[in-house]
Amino acid sequence: MQSLSQSPTDPAFVQNPYPFYERARAAGPFFHWTDYSLPCTGNAAAVNAIFRDRRFGREVPPELARPVPDHLRAFYAVEAHSMLELEPPRHTRLRALVLRAFTSRRIAALAPEIAELSHRLIDAMPDGGADLLRDFGQKLPVIIIARLLGVPEDMSDDLLRWSNAMVGMYMAGRTRAAEDRADRAAADFASFLRGYVEARRADPRDDLITHLIAAESEGERLTTDELIATCILLLNAGHEATVHTLGNGVKTLLETSTPATALGPDLVEGTVEEILRYDPPLHMFTRWAYEDIEVMGQNFRRGDQIGLLLAAANRDPGVWDKPARFDPSRPVRANASFGAGLHFCVGAPLARLELQIALPILFARLPKLHLAEAPRYGDVYHFHGLTGLAVTY
C-alpha cells in the first residue's frame, strides 16, 4: 500500500481536493493517508463493497474503546444512542422504529411546504443581490426538518448553531475550543429536546417526534435518550448535507453555464443526481474491520479503521465516463454520496426532494442569477461546503 501525504486543511486542498484524489487512485485500490494515519480508498468498487460488508461497521470494537474525556461527556452521551454510530442489533431496532415514523408518504407530503418556503425565502431576499447560502441555502433545510419534527420554526437559528458546533467534532484539525463548543451545544440541544419530548408525550401532535414516541417494533419503543439522539441526528444530518449540496450545486450550475432546461420536470432528477455525484457534501466516512478480511488484494486486521473517500469514488473513471466533467444528461446510476448498505442515509429521500423542488424554483424566479464573486470552500473537511455564495440577479 503506497503512502501519500496531504494535509486536509491545506488551502489548495480545501478549494479543490480532486487532484489529490486522482493521485491517490493512481496508487491502487487502497493507499495510506499519512496525515490521518489511515488506510483509505477512493475506488468506487471498494467503497461500495465495504459499505455493504457486515464485517465492517461504524461501532468501535469493544477492545479499542477509550474512556470519554470529561469535557466531552454531553457530546458522547448523545452519540451513545445515535444509530449512525451503532451496529446490529441496536441499529436494526432503532432504524426500524425511525422508518415507521419517517415514511416515504410523510416525506412526499412535504413537497408543497418546500415549494411555498422556497418562494417565501426568495421573496425575502434583498433587491439586486444576496448571500444565497445565508438567505436561502441554510434556511430552507433547517426550517423543513424543524417542521417535520414539530420543533418551532423560530428555533431554527438555535438548531443551526447547535448543529454547526456539533459537526465541528468531525472536522480535520479540531481544537479544544471546538470540542468545548460541541459539548455545550450537545448539552443545550439535548436539554431542549428532553423538555420538548415530554411535552409531546403529554400533548401528542401530528409531527415526527410524536410519531417517534408512538412507533413500536416487536413491542419495543424508543427510550427518551434514544429519541433525543435520533432527533439530533435527523436535525443535524437532515440539513447539514443539504445546505452544502444546495450551495455546491448552485455554484456548479452557474460556473458551468448549465441551461435552465436541465431543471425541467423530466430532467431535474438527473441533474440533482449529477450535482450529488460531482461535488458531494461529505467526502469521507470511516469503517472499522470486525475480523481479519481481504478486500481487492488488501488485507485488514480486526480493529483496523478504513477511510472511504466518497467524493473520490464518485469520480472513478471505472464507473463514470469523463467523471471530472459536470454532465446532467449522463445516465443516472448510484453514487456514494448517501452511503450504502445498513447505514444508507435515511434522510436521502428528503434531501433529494428539497433539491428537486428548490433548485427549479430558484432558477425560474431568478433567471438572471449570476455569481457576484468566486465562491470559496470552507476549511471543514471531511465536509465540503462553501463559506458563502454571493450572487446578483
Q: In whole angstroms, give the CA distance from residue 308 to residue 300.
A: 14
> In angstroms, what CA-CA distances link 257 with 1, 6, 243, 260, 329?
40, 32, 21, 9, 14
Kindly give, in sequence order, each residue whose CB lies less than 8 Å from that of residue 194, ignoring residues fewer than 6 positions away. Answer: 224, 228
DSSP summary character for residue 347: T
Asked whether the beta carbons of 337 and 281 are under 8 A apart, the reply is: yes
pLDDT of res. 358: 98
pLDDT mean values, one per 10 residues, the chain (393 residues): 97 98 96 98 97 96 95 96 94 90 89 97 96 96 90 88 93 94 97 92 90 79 91 86 96 96 96 98 97 96 98 97 97 94 93 97 97 96 96 97
Determine the structural domain holding residue 113 and report its residue range.
Answer: 2-392
**Overall number of domains in the chain:** 1
Contact call for residues 124 and 116 (beta carbons, < 8 A): no
Residue-level pLDDT at 157: 87
The count of other CB atoms within 10 Å of the CB of residue 247 is 27
The Cβ of residue 76 has, within 10 Å, a number of other Cβ atoms equal to 15
Chain centre to alpha carbon of residue 358: 18
Distances (CA, A) of 313 to 118, 183, 337: 32, 33, 9
Closest CA to 101 of 192, 240, 234, 195: 234
Q: What is the pLDDT of residue 269?
A: 97
Angle at 102 between CA 96 and CA 103, to 5 degrees: 95
Q: What phi and psi values does residue 4 have, to the nearest 5 degrees?
A: -130, 145
Residue 330 one-letter amino acid: R
376: left (phi over 0), alpha (psi -120 to 50) or beta: beta
pLDDT at 217: 61
pLDDT of residue 101: 83
- In the prediction, which pLDDT does 218 show? 66
Q: Any idea what the CATH number is for the domain that residue 209 is in?
A: 1.10.630.10
Q: Which residues contact 225 (CB under 8 A, 6 or more apart)?
A: 77, 80, 81
Q: Is-contact 136 117, C-beta < 8 A? A: no
Cβ-in-10-Å burial (0-12, 13-18, 19+) of 115 comes to middle
